[in-house]
């Protein structure tokens, strides 16, 4: 990537000794060898830039405490409370945001239904369906944005919960914040609204895009965020939820175990680390730009994304292209639904993975 990225990396202390240039893959923090995995793992949404230097140090230091059960969530909770302007009874931690999304969905929607867009992130909805809780999925509009009016109209007597993902996964699109705010206020007068902000930090002016202000104003809105994406800590399973105290108590009553010591220490060390965030965000934006250029070179339509992935119209059934890519050791992710049968989601990755994707995609498209 460009010189500016190198400067950002240097400012964030991310260039390790011996890293010649930010334009080369070796400029990234050391990458693990994924033996037995695809040559380009583009089906995932993690941030290969990895944890911040401070988070890496905190993880190493936490080994001294590894023999003991985690004893203190207080440092991380204090930082979140300060950052969000919320009292401690309005927030809690979980082992990944999926845990919070799943436990809340099952607890709140018990013997009822959930309204959610489609396609969207739905691992928690699939889990809830296994417990007998069905969802009413509202298709995206023709411009691939949420149909918030239709979602509001879909909230019926059986509905116990509404779910939105901002920005949406897999489209990477953000709704207009004022429109989402109006939806959340109207919907939360009927049922709790769960707003999944897994990619919060990637939005321009994230606090304006976030629905956390509605929690501060007392609405029945639940916001989940995670350290798994931009902060590069997916393997350490730490996330947080912001909501009214009643919802936080409900979530805490369902959580079965404590968070892990290393994840707590790492998250506290990196939350709000602006130099690191600038580097990570520049890296992810650079990856997205690279994916856009690959699409353009192959005349494929794509949606400009605020996530760690890009949703691409393959111009052919995506399942067939996925198989051809798999044979070339490239993994991509598809989402269900007839309207998006030609679309695949391609994740941000290391420069080597994206270069390999660029090389083999024309061959895969030809069939």
Ligand X SMILES: Cc1ncc(COP(=O)(O)O)c(C=O)c1O
- Note the residues at the interface with ligand X (CB under 6 A): 45, 96-98, 121, 165, 169, 196, 198, 226, 228, 234, 239
Q: Do you find a cis peptide bond into 119, omega within 30 degrees of 0?
A: yes
How is residue 136 annotated by DSSP?
E
Backbone φ and ψ of 143, nearest 5°:
-90, 10
Please state the closest distance from residue 174 (CB atom) to ligand X, in A.
Answer: 12
Please state the closest distance from residue 305 (CB atom) to ligand X, in A.
Answer: 12
Beta bridge partners of 201: none
CA separation for the pair 159, 23 (Å, rounded):
51
Residue with tokens 């994304």: 305
Please state the closest distance from residue 196 (CB atom) to ligand X, in A.
Answer: 5
Q: Which is nearer to ligand X, 8 or 92 (CB)?
A: 92
| Residue-by-residue DSSP string for 9-56 | HHHTT-PPTT---TTSGGGSSPPPP-TTS-SEE-S----TT-S-HHHH
Residue with nearest beta carbon to ligand X: 96
Please state the closest distance from residue 23 (CB atom) to ligand X, in A.
Answer: 29
Q: Which is nearer to ligand X, 8 or 308 (CB)?
A: 308
Instruction: Give the 3-state secondary structure of 287-341.
Output: HHHHHHHHHHHCCCEECCCCCCEEEEECCCCHHHHHHHHHHCCEECECCCCHHHC
Please state the closest distance from residue 332 (CB atom) to ligand X, in A.
Answer: 15
CA separation for the pair 241, 226 (Å, rounded):
9
CA separation for the pair 348, 346 (Å, rounded):
7
Please state the closest distance from residue 44 (CB atom) to ligand X, in A.
Answer: 8
Please state the closest distance from residue 333 (CB atom) to ligand X, in A.
Answer: 10
* Residues in CB range of 42: below 8 A, 6 or more apart: 330, 331, 332, 333, 346, 347, 349, 353, 357
Please state the closest distance from residue 199 (CB atom) to ligand X, in A.
Answer: 7
Q: Which is nearer to ligand X, 9 or 266 (CB)?
A: 266
CA separation for the pair 145, 167 (Å, rounded):
10
Q: Which is nearer to ligand X, 121 or 183 (CB)?
A: 121
Q: Which is nearer to ligand X, 196 or 353 (CB)?
A: 196
Q: Which is nearer to ligand X, 45 or 171 (CB)?
A: 45
Q: Which is nearer to ligand X, 46 or 298 (CB)?
A: 46
Q: Which is nearer to ligand X, 135 or 226 (CB)?
A: 226
């Amino acid at each position: 990537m460009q010189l500016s990225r190198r400067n950002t990396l240097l400012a964030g202390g991310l260039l390790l000794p011996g890293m010649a240039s930010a334009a080369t893959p070796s400029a990234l923090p050391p990458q693990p060898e994924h033996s037995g995995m695809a040559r380009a793992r583009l089906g995932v949404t993690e941030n290969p830039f990895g944890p911040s230097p401070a988070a890496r140090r905190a993880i190493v230091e936490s080994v001294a405490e590894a023999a003991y059960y985690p004893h203190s969530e207080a440092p991380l909770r204090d930082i979140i409370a300060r950052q969000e302007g919320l009292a401690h009874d309005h927030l809690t931690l979980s082992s990944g945001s999926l845990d919070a999304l799943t436990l809340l969905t099952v607890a709140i929607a018990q013997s009822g239904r959930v309204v959610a867009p489609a396609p969207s992130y739905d691992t928690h909805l699939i889990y809830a369906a296994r417990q007998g809780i069905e969802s009413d999925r509202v298709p995206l509009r023709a411009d691939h944005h949420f149909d918030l009016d239709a979602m509001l109209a879909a909230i019926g007597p059986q509905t116990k919960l509404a779910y939105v993902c901002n920005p949406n996964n897999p489209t990477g699109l953000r709704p207009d914040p004022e429109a989402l705010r109006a939806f959340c206020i109207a919907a939360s007068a009927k049922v709790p609204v769960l707003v999944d902000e897994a990619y919060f930090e990637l939005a321009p002016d994230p606090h304006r895009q976030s629905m956390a202000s509605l929690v501060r104003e007392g609405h029945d809105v639940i916001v989940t965020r995670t350290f798994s994406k931009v902060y590069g800590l997916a393997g350490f399973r730490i996330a947080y939820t912001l909501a009214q105290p009643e919802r936080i108590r409900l979530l805490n009553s369902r959580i079965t175990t404590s968070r892990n010591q290393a994840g707590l220490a790492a998250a506290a060390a990196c939350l709000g680390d602006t130099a690191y965030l600038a580097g990570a965000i520049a890296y992810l934006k650079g990856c997205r730009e690279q994916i856009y250029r690959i699409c353009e070179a192959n005349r494929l339509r794509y949606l400009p994304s605020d996530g760690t992935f890009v949703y691409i119209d393959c111009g052919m059934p995506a399942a067939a292209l996925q198989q051809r890519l798999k044979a070339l050791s490239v993994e991509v992710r598809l989402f269900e639904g007839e309207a998006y049968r030609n679309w695949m989601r391609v994740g941000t990755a290391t420069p080597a993975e994206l270069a390999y994707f660029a090389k083999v995609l024309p061959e895969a498209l030809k069939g």
